[in-house]
Amino acid sequence: MKKTITLLLFIIVLSLSSYAYTVELGEYHTSTSKISRNQFEIHKGDYSVCASDYRIIPIWIKNNNDYEESISLEYNGPNWAVLGGNGINLPVGKEGVIFIELKPDELGNYSTILKSKSQKAIADIPININVDECYSLNVNFQKGSESICGCEIKTLDLDIENTGKFDQDISLSFNGLTEYDTDNNSLNIKSGDKTTINVDINCPSEGNYDFEVNAKVSGMEFKDTIEVDVVSSYQCYKLDLSGKNKFTVYPSGANIQLSLKNIGLREQTYDFRIEGPEWVSTTTKTINLKEETSTKVDLSVQPSKEIDFGKYGMDIVFSTENNDYRKYIEINYKPENKIIKSVKDFVYYYRYYFYISPIIIILILILLVYLRRSFRKHQEKKEKRKLKKQAKLERKAKLEEKARLKEKEKKSINKKVEKSKPTKKKQDKSKFQSFIGVVYIIIVLLLLASLLTYYLNTKGLIKIPNIPIDSILESVQDFFVLYWNYMIIGLIFLVILIFVINIINKTITIKRN
């Protein structure tokens, strides 16, 4: 393509020089001032220019006629390509120059035409211009956002890549934060190379910032922004302490468990201590937690016999280099009720029996179902045997009819006798009322006897020895504490036994009916 265009231009120049004028395209020139023939260099092929660059194309024109020539020019090209004049007047044998100024702002390949016209000749000269991205940078922070805790120094990594055609001198500027420092504000990067510079953020105030970098090269700017969130050190390493604030502890001691979660922005190691009674201890000294992770801490509460009952307070403290995270806990140290303690001990001691008791109950129910089905099959066989004997029973129908009549006569006689006697319910009611009456009379007599005894004792007429009621009650309580579990077990088995017997009796009664 380039050879074809060069040949075409050469033919145009020869044709023009043979009878009119010569038009030649030159290499880029630095300015639109005068240029000598020695400074002029003929250009071959297409023109290449960088976007946003400023370039000048010189056009050399020579009058080959034996008279003064007036040559008019017209340039058809993009808006950013401007011809320096509409024409030129040349005396006999003289030469002159005119310029095309290029300020490209869009990439692409452009085919333009320079039209020239004299008194005797017309020529269209093609000029191809290729606009490339010569000055291009990729400017990127390695992270889209960054958080800073308190007054710590944070280093931001900034990548700069020269994707243009030429080596470039780059200048950097930053906006959004004033508390920054960088190792290099200006640098030279070769074409195709990439470099990373460090930007240190030094103790900014709390808040959210958009930190912007602006890289300038050949009048062009390339930007990138990173969001910087600055928080206090307390919030950055914040610890969430969850768990109850009040605990009840008995002389046997207890274990307290606390839950911890790092809800801050950084991994942190916390020093753990207890500010409170000496009989509260832990084996944990330090805890390391990454952000959004949690763990548990166990406290051992073992009061000695010399410790008085009452309420005790303590602070659970987790410390970092700059902050303390506290949780107040109140311990209510009191004696444990004997009955409750024995119940707890019993449940703990026999816990495995409680675990297996549902299985035993299920097995008993399965056995009952099996017995019920067996009894049903037995009844079905019995009915079959009855059907076989039905023929014999029909023969005895007359005898049975007589027996029924006799039975009715007996029942009528018995009804008359029962009407003359009190019913069973009335008898039970009268017995219960008489029992209540006897109990009432006994209570009244005991009350009167106690009042009489108290009166005689106060008057000194009789002397009643002191009865150790407290010791008797304590003995009864101890007996209940020691043997209540056996009573309850016996009661449970008794209830189960009664339940089983009741089901069996009901089943048998239904089958008989």
Question: Which range in 270-284, 365-379, 440-454 is most confidently predicted, on average pLDDT?
Answer: 270-284
Backbone angles phi, psi at 60, to 5 degrees: -95, 125
| Choice among 31-40, 61-70, 245-254, 261-270 with the minimum mean pLDDT | 31-40
For residues 232 and 288, what is the distance between their CA atoms, to the nearest angstrom? 20
pLDDT band at 210 (very low <50, low <70, confident <90, very high): very high
Listing DSSP states for 420-452 in one string gives HSPPHHHHHHHHHHHHHHHHHHHHHHHHHHHHH
pTM over 0.85: no
pLDDT at site 130: 92
Please answer whether residues 183 and 197 qualify as being in contact, where contact means their C-beta atoms are separated by less than 8 angstroms. Answer: yes
Rounded CA Rg of the chain: 57
The crossing angle, in degrees rounded to 10, of helices 351-388 and 469-512 is 30
Hey, is 472 helix, strand or coil?
Answer: helix
pLDDT at site 470: 55
Please answer whether residues 453 and 464 qualify as being in contact, where contact means their C-beta atoms are separated by less than 8 angstroms. Answer: yes
Please answer whether residues 47 and 63 qualify as being in contact, where contact means their C-beta atoms are separated by less than 8 angstroms. Answer: no
Distances (CA, A) of 209 to 101, 197, 230: 44, 20, 8
Report which secondary-structure segment, H or E, holds 453. helix 424-459
The predicted-structure confidence for 436-479, as pLDDT tens digits, reads as follows 556 656 765 666 666 666 556 665 666 655 555 556 656 656 66
**What number is the average pLDDT over the span 168-173?**
89
Q: What domains lie within the chain, and their CATH numbers?
A: 2-132 (2.60.40.10), 137-231 (2.60.40.10), 240-335 (2.60.40.2310), 337-386+441-513 (no CATH)
